[in-house]
Amino acid sequence: MFINGAWTEASTQNHFDVINPATGDVIGSMPDGNAEDAKAAITAADDAFADWSATTAFKRADILMDAWQIMNDRAADLAELMTEEQGKPLKAARFEVGYAADFIRWFAEEARRLSGQWLPSGRPDQRFLSVRQPVGVVAAVTPWNYPISMLTRKMAPALAAGCTLVLKPAEATPLCAKATFDVFTDAGVPAGVINMVTAADPRPIGEVFTSDPRVRKLTFTGSTAVGRTLAAAAGASLQRVSVELGGHAPFIVFPDADPENAAKGAAALKFLNAGQACISPNRLYVHRDAADAFINMLTKRVSGLVTGNGADEGVGLGPLVNEAAVDKVAAQVEDARDKGAGVPVGGQRLTDNGLDRGFFYAPTVLTDVTPDMTVYREETFGPVAPVVVYDDVDQVIELANDTHYGLAAYVYTDSMKTSVKAFEALRFGIIGINDVNPTSASVPFGGMKDSGLGREGGHEGLDEYLETKVAGISLR
C-alpha cells in the first residue's frame, strides 16, 4: 500500500493474490489492508492537506503535466500490465492508457483556470467576493473494468483542486493502481497527498471512508447496489458525494437509418471490453422494417470476433473478470433462451484451446427479446447483444426510458429533427447520436436516476472537488 509517500505492508502483514483472468495464473500479490490501514492513510492525507491546498494552482498544474508526460512515456508497459491483469485486448488497453492520460492533461489545464468573482451588492459601501477552495480529504473507490482511466478521472481533478486523497482500488486490479501511483509520485506529488489502501474485502475500508469526519468527499465508480450503500453511509457524515453507477443503455435504430451501419456501430460498442462497460448498450431497439438487415450484419460482425488472451495477436474479445461474471451472463442467456429468444451466434462458455483456464464467454446475439426476460431489465456486463424489434416509432422513446438506470443511450437516424427530439426526450446523461464514443476528458460524464450523482470530466469534473466561499466586504 502507499501511505504518506512510502510503499508499505498492511498492518496485518497479510496479502491477497492477483489473478490473470485469461489464464487463471497468479501474477502478483498486494497487501490485504483493513480499517486501521485506511485510518492511517486518512491521517496522512489530512496532515498533507494544508500544504498541498496552499500550493499554487500553477505548481499543481505543472506536476500534473509532468505526470501526463510520464504516463505517455510508459504507455506501452502500462497497457501490457493492464492486459495481463484485467484481460482486455492490448489494442484496447493502449487506448485506455491514452484516455487516462487525457484526464491528467485536461485537469492540469483546468487548474490554471480556477477563479472567483466579484458580486454586486444593493449597498454602495459593500462588495462581495466569491472564491472556490478545495473541499478537503477525498476518499476514492475505483472499479476493475477501466483500471487506470477511472483512477485518473478522479485523482487528476482532486489534485488540480488542491485536495488530498485516499484511494481504494478494485481488488481485481491493484497492480494497475500501483503503476498509476508510481506515475504521480515520479511526477513530484508530495508525500501524503495521494495514498492507497488495498484489500481483498473492501467493506471495512468503505466503512472508514464514510464515517471518518476528516473525509469531506466520497467518489465512487461501481455497481448501483454498492453505490447506494456508500452514499447512504456518507450522508450520515454529510460528506460530498459523487457516484458513477450502473447502466442499461438503449440503442435505438430509427427506420430512416442505415441498418447495416448501425449494426457495425453496435457491434463495435457492445463488445468493447467484453461488454464490461457501464455505457455498453444492453437493449438494441430496431424497427421491424430494418430488423433483418440489422441482425444479419450484427451476427456477421460478432461471428468474426476472435476471443482469447488479450495479449495474443488478433484477439478482439478478452475474458470476463471472474467466475461470477461468467455465471451471471450464462444465467441471463439461458433465461432468454427458455423464454423464446433466438441465439444466432454464441450462447455458451468457451473452453476450447486452453480457454477453460480463464473466464471466457462467447460473444452472443439474442433475437426476439421481450420485456419478461431478465436481460431486458438487468445490466448484463458481458458480451451479449439483445435485439428488440419495435413497430411504433412514437413509442420507442418510452420503451427506452422504461428503466431505473439513466447513464447512456444511443440513437441512429439520418434525420436532424429525430436526433434533436430523441436527445431531448431520452432520460440519460450521455447520448450518442450516430456515435458510439460520446465521451472525452473535456466533457462531463455521468448519469441520472440509479446511474449516479455528479459528473466527471469537463469543467464540472473539477467543481466536484471545490467548495464555494463568499466574503462580504464593507468599504466603510
pLDDT in tens, 158-185: 999 999 999 999 999 999 999 999 999 9
Say if 443 falls within a structural domain.
no
CA angle 364, 438, 180 (to 5 degrees): 85
Q: Which cell is 431 given?
A: 447520448
Mean pLDDT, residues 469-474 taken together: 97
Residues with Cβ within 8 Å of residue 17, at least 6 apart in sequence? 26, 28, 29
Our count of domains for the chain comes to 2
The answer, yes or no, to whether residue 327 has pLDDT greater than 90, is yes
Say if 136 falls within a structural domain.
yes
Our answer to whether residue 163 is catalytic in this structure is: no
Say if 265 falls within a structural domain.
yes
Average pLDDT, the chain: 97
Catalytic entry in 96, 244, 379, 464: 244
Q: Which cell is 240 given?
A: 460530498
Say if 96 falls within a structural domain.
yes
Q: What single-letter amino acid sits at 225?
A: A
Main-chain phi, psi angles of 439, to 5 degrees: -130, 155
> For residue 476, what pLDDT is reported?
86
38 CB-contact burial (10 Å; exposed 0-12 / middle 13-18 / buried 19+): buried
Say if 296 falls within a structural domain.
yes
Judge if 147 and 255 occupy the same domain: no
Say if 467 falls within a structural domain.
yes
Judge if 225 and 127 occupy the same domain: yes
Give 390-449 pLDDT, tens digit per residue.
Answer: 999 999 999 999 999 999 999 999 999 999 999 999 999 999 999 999 999 999 999 999
Mean pLDDT, residues 6-25 taken together: 97
Judge if 215 and 226 occupy the same domain: yes
- Cβ atoms of residues 176 and 82 within 8 Å: yes
Give 149-160 pLDDT, tens digit per residue.
Answer: 999 999 999 999
Taking residue 404's Cβ as centre, other Cβ atoms within 10 Å add up to 12
Give 249-298 pLDDT, tens digit per residue.
Answer: 999 999 999 999 999 999 999 999 999 999 999 999 999 999 999 999 99
Judge if 359 and 454 occupy the same domain: no
Judge if 101 and 222 occupy the same domain: yes
Taking residue 228's Cβ as centre, other Cβ atoms within 10 Å add up to 13
Mean pLDDT, residues 117-145 taken together: 96
> For residue 24, what pLDDT is reported?
96
Judge if 30 and 89 occupy the same domain: yes
CA angle 6, 7, 8 (to 5 degrees): 105
Mean pLDDT, residues 241-254 taken together: 97
Catalytic entry in 110, 176, 278, 379: 278
The answer, yes or no, to whether residue 388 has pLDDT greater than 90, is yes
Q: Which pLDDT band, with edges at 50, 70 and 90, does 457 fall under?
A: very high
Q: What single-letter amino acid sits at 92?
A: A
Range of the domain at 82: 2-246+449-474
Judge if 259 and 170 occupy the same domain: no
Judge if 298 and 335 occupy the same domain: yes
349 CB-contact burial (10 Å; exposed 0-12 / middle 13-18 / buried 19+): middle
> For residue 170, what pLDDT is reported?
98
The β-bridge partners of 130 are 117, 470
Judge if 273 and 224 occupy the same domain: no
Mean pLDDT, residues 296-316 taken together: 97
> For residue 390, what pLDDT is reported?
98
Say if 440 falls within a structural domain.
no
Judge if 23 and 163 occupy the same domain: yes
CATH number for the domain spanning 264: value is 3.40.309.10
Kindly give the residue spans of alpha helices, DSSP state H, lying in 246-287. 259-270
Judge if 70 and 42 occupy the same domain: yes
CATH number for the domain spanning 459: value is 3.40.605.10
Q: Which residue has the cell 441465439?
A: 343
- Rounded percentage of the chain residues whose pLDDT exceeds 70: 100
Q: Which pLDDT band, with edges at 50, 70 and 90, does 339 fall under?
A: very high
- Cβ atoms of residues 81 and 175 within 8 Å: yes
The answer, yes or no, to whether residue 381 has pLDDT greater than 90, is yes
Our answer to whether residue 244 is catalytic in this structure is: yes
Judge if 188 and 254 occupy the same domain: no
Helix, strand or coil for residue 467? Answer: strand
> For residue 403, what pLDDT is reported?
96
Say if 444 falls within a structural domain.
no
